[in-house]
A = this chain, B = another copy of it.
């Protein structure tokens, strides 16, 4: 285990578990759900998959991502741990729908990229829920893009809260360790703050760059800019030119943390502008030396 800020003694708890005989349920058989299924089955676990689309169920069976598949949640009655791999907007409704079929001992976990809001919605429902966020992916999506080993060395964050039973956390953690992911524990708030900085803020500042260039009123300079843009623009604008639904989801579900990060970003930007306005070149150089020296801290 890489980090255990929650101080949960998973090793002792796991000694009493027989993880290999666990039946895992997966709701949502896309890139993440499908890849989880492939890895769990390879490790010998039984995997039951649910998708709203019968075609996706067939594809998941074809790919070997599930032992059984259905478009009906009742299939998951036999599952001990259920991974909810739907879009964030559907997580709470999925938990609610599952309550009809599961036992009080069934453990639920999700893979959403924002945690605080989902956990606040799910907690009152009374299920054994452990928030999770595997930070793995590809440019592709859907069951066809699922792949074995997707989570190897990728961060996988669990966000237990005070009321989460330690046994539930330990069970999900032990499944995550089967994936060979790097496991982290943190609070939902710290998780959302961290991803607002390193994932959601870059999307917004990158989109603002594209907007600024588009709004250039001088047509010759705009046309020239379009022709001259090279790798610096390409890299800095990449995430701002990505999937609009993803950017929207970040803003909707991580709004308070993202607004905090954006406010702090405005201050950093104003500091650079002031240095340039006042021609304070020694301080600007010092600042650029610090950004050069510290960037590798974020690229471990």
> Contact at B292–A214, with CB atoms within 8 Å?
no
- Other A-B contacts than A184-B227, A214-B291, A235-B238, 8 sampled, CB-CB below 8 A, are A190-B221, A198-B232, A199-B230, A202-B209, A204-B272, A207-B287, A258-B276, A266-B270
- Please tell me the number of chain A residues within 8 Å of chain B, measured between CB atoms: 98
Residues of B near A294 (CB, < 8 A) are: 210, 214, 241
- Chain B residues with Cβ below 8 Å from A235 are 202, 235-236, 238-239
1/0 per position for A282-293, CB-CB distance to B under 8 A?
A: 001101111110
By a CB distance below 8 angstroms, the chain B residues around A289 are: 244
Complex Cα–Cα for A281 and B249 (A) = 9
CB distance from A66 to the nearest CB of B (A): 28
Contacting residues, chain B, for A285 (C-beta < 8 A): 244-245, 248
Residues of B near A263 (CB, < 8 A) are: 273
* A75–chain B nearest beta-carbon distance, Å: 33
Find out whether the CB atom of B204 lies under 8 angstroms from the CB atom of A269.
Answer: yes
User: Does A174 make an interface contact (CB < 8 A)?
Assistant: no
Q: Do residues A186 and B224 form an inter-chain contact, with CB atoms below 8 A? A: yes
The 5 closest A-B pairs by CB, nearest first: A241-B295, A244-B288, A202-B236, A194-B224, A229-B298
* Per-residue interface assignment for chain A, residues 181 to 214, with 1 indicating a CB less than 8 Å from any chain B CB and 0 otherwise: 0101011001101110111011111111111111
A255 within 8 A of B: yes
CB closest residue in chain B, given A200: B232
Q: Which residues of B contact A225 (CB under 8 A)?
A: 193-195, 197-198, 298
Closest to A217 in B: B264
Chain B neighbourhood of A207, CB < 8 A: 272, 287-288, 291
Q: Report A213 CB to chain B, min CB distance, Å.
A: 5
Tell me which residues across on chain B come within 8 A of A194, comparing CB atoms.
221-222, 224-225, 228
A187, B220: Cα distance in complex, Å: 9
Contacts of A248-284 to chain B: CB distance below 8 A = 248, 251-252, 255, 258-259, 261-273, 275-277, 279, 281, 284
